[in-house]
Amino acid sequence: PGSVSAVAVAAAGLLIATVLLGDGSSDDRLLWIGGAAVLLAGIVAILRLPRPDRAGFVFLVGLGAFVVWSGLSILWSVEPDRSWSYFNRSIVLLAFAVVGLALGALVARAPRLVAATLAVSFGLVLAWALLGKVFPDLDPDGERVARLRGSLGYWNALALVAAMAVPLSLWAAARRTHPHAARAGGAVLFLLATVALLLTYSRGGALVAFGALGVWLAIGSPRLESVVAAVGAGAAGLVVAVVGFVLPGVSEERQSEDVRADDGLLFGLALVAGALLVFTAAFLAAREEGRRPLDEALRRRLGRMATVAAGALLVGALALGVVRAGNPVDWVGDAVSEFSEPLDPTLEDDPVRFAALSSNTRWSWWEDALEVFREHPVVGAGAGAYDVARRPFRDDTLAPVEPHSLPLQFLAELGIVGFLLIALPAAAATAGIVGALRPAGDERPAVAALTVVVAAYAAHGLAEFNWDYIVLSGPAFLVIGLLLGRGAPTRRLHRWPSLATAGAAVVVLLSLAVPWLAARKVDDARSAITDPARSARLAEDAHDLNPLAVEPLLLWSQAEEARGDYEEARRLLVESVELQPENPRTWRELGEFELEVLMRRDLAHRYLARARELDPKDPLTAQLLQES
């Protein structure tokens, strides 16, 4: 019992730390959060290794094979240092899945524990993001970017948090066995999710949230209380969001500090008033329901009626939209045409955005991903290497790290092999989770809510790059593992398997730590550039730690140039080209050095021409070519 409680507490702590401290898509926190996940996974595997059913076993083996393939892609990647980083991120997600499997196997009420932990954690993330609108000092970049981003740094990622909070909030608000305060808190969470989602101006996030609501009403329970909570809290949230929309300091960029502060105060008053109103109404309704419960048959009938009415309203709204749009064939054609526009300059960051159909460059990025796949159909360009691999084909000067679509990302970066390897655990997880929904019991509502969380993550990944966000992917994979591991038997490992598991955990921790340490050395070398000798030593240390990265070589070359050792500076630039010959930056840096330092125009032109072949849209390369 003690070890089981320890696993439950450790898993809950890991979830809270991941959601609250994940720091967007940055690798800075991956060492600490990922390291904790790897350690916990190793400990539970040694102490109580879960033995899942067939679906869970296929999921675990398939995901492990995908992770291994991601690591192997370093060998042929056009950007091997990024592939190493992506391999680390993938193996951390595997560790989260193992923790989830153990949690589901060992802790009887694990679904409730995880659902409650995620509900509180997501609520804190959403509340903190909204506080950035109330108190502008909490979001100093809010003057430049109006869309709500919070601690995740990306509005669409925050929108997914809001979408995943929808089923969790309704699970908390609707369950009659929950304390009145918990039910009222669930209603407030739904309000926060509504307001935050609308202020992100995320169209994809809104669609996923709406879909999550529909799926919850289809598989969750109880329906009547869910509909009442969603309508009441959602209406209040809509009113608060509209208040934010009409305040320039909240909804528009490039507003003065005084305007942001004054409008933020008004928005904060509306937010607090809405939250207090929703909490009070939900609390009183829960207490009254406890005193005068409805007949169960009547409750179910009303719940079905409410769900059918909501569906009828949706169908009616869609039908009205089609009628007003005119000929459906023409309308669909116009919609596809607008969606495939490379970039819509009229797409502003305001509420009107929700009515726009433009993909806002995604279509071009998806086409580039398919071009990369055609160039590397079997093995891909390397995990995480989309940015460099797409540059010969790109039509814009943007630098997306991923194509904003997980299926296309895996096709482009890991080829058909990687795509099939991730499709296998995805299919196994789907089958296993559907099976987990069948048994009735006290845990089924929490299981249903967590199922919708996973479905929202998967749906959002069709048009986003969720894999890069540990704050999104870590909880999703832990939940998948939990749902697949429920009730699975466990066993202790023998001596040698235990030692092998411990050794593997140490190797993974080293793999996480080394690039992190190298990145710190790079930052120090960049800061010390006024002291070329020290900067060169730090850059050399970074190169020794991470020999796959070009940044240490480029900084080291810059330091040697400042010291007057042009021969050594050129040698380092040549080494960077040999390390990443498909990276246009290495050729451009070498060509620029030949042009501006050594004054050898013929060589400079040759190197810069190669850089232009690898990235025809780079304006700096074009300018240097003109000078050569």
What was the pLDDT predicted at 332?
A: 47
∠ Cα 105 31 426 (to 5°):
45
Are 287 and 179 a contacting pair, CB within 8 Å?
Answer: no
Is the CB of residue 157 less than 8 Å from the CB of residue 24? Answer: yes
CA distance 226 to 303: 9
Mapped to the 3 state alphabet, what secondary structure does 1-61 carry? CHHHHHHHHHHHHHHHHHHHHCCCCCCCCHHHHHHHHHHHHHHHHHHCEECCCHHHHHHHH
Confidence at residue 298, expressed as pLDDT on a 0 to 100 scale: 66
CA 553 – CA 112 distance, rounded (Å): 50
Q: How is residue 496 annotated by DSSP?
A: H
CB count within 10 Å of CB 603 equals 16
According to DSSP, the residues that pair with 490 across neighbouring strands are 50
Euclidean distance between CA atoms 251 and 349, whole angstroms: 8
Per-10-residue mean pLDDT of the chain, 628 residues long, equals: 81 95 83 94 86 93 97 97 96 96 91 96 97 89 84 93 97 93 97 96 94 93 89 95 94 88 95 97 87 67 70 65 51 54 60 74 92 96 96 89 95 97 96 87 92 97 94 97 89 80 92 95 94 96 97 97 95 97 97 94 94 95 90
Contact 76, 389 (CB under 8 A): no
pLDDT digits (tens, 9 = 90+) for 209-233: 999 999 999 898 888 889 999 999 9
CA dihedral 587, 590, 591, 596 (to 10 degrees): 160
**CB proximity list for 148: less than 8 A, separation 6 or greater:** 129, 130, 132, 133, 155, 158, 196, 199, 200
DSSP string, 193-229: HHHHHHHHT-HHHHHHHHHHHHHHHHHSS-HHHHHHH
Residue type, 568: E
Helix or strand or coil: residue 258?
helix
pLDDT at residue 451, as a whole number? 97
- Looking up tokens 């959602």 gives 234
Instruction: Give the global pTM.
Output: 0.93
What pLDDT, in 10s, does the model give residues 489-540? 888 777 778 888 889 999 999 999 999 999 999 999 999 999 999 999 999 9
Q: Which helix (H) or strand (E) holds 83?
A: helix 80-106
Q: Rounded to whole angstroms, how far apart are CA atoms 24 and 144?
A: 18
DSSP secondary structure string for all residues of 420-474: HHHHHHHHHHHHHHHHHTSS-STTHHHHHHHHHHHHHHHHHHTSS-GGG-HHHHH
Please provide residue 261's backbone torsions phi and psi, each rounded to the nearest 5 degrees. -70, -45
pLDDT of residue 23: 81
pLDDT of residue 295: 64
Beta carbons of 201 and 354 less than 8 angstroms apart: yes
Contacts of 323 (CB under 8 A, 6+ apart): none
- Residue positions counted in the chain: 628
Cβ atoms < 10 Å from Cβ of 448:
23
Residue by residue, DSSP assigns 559-603 as HHHHHT-HHHHHHHHHHHHHH-TT-HHHHHHHHHHHHHTS--HHH
What is the amino acid identity at position 510? L
At residue 139, the 3 state secondary structure works out as: coil
C-alpha 372/C-alpha 140 separation (Å) is 38
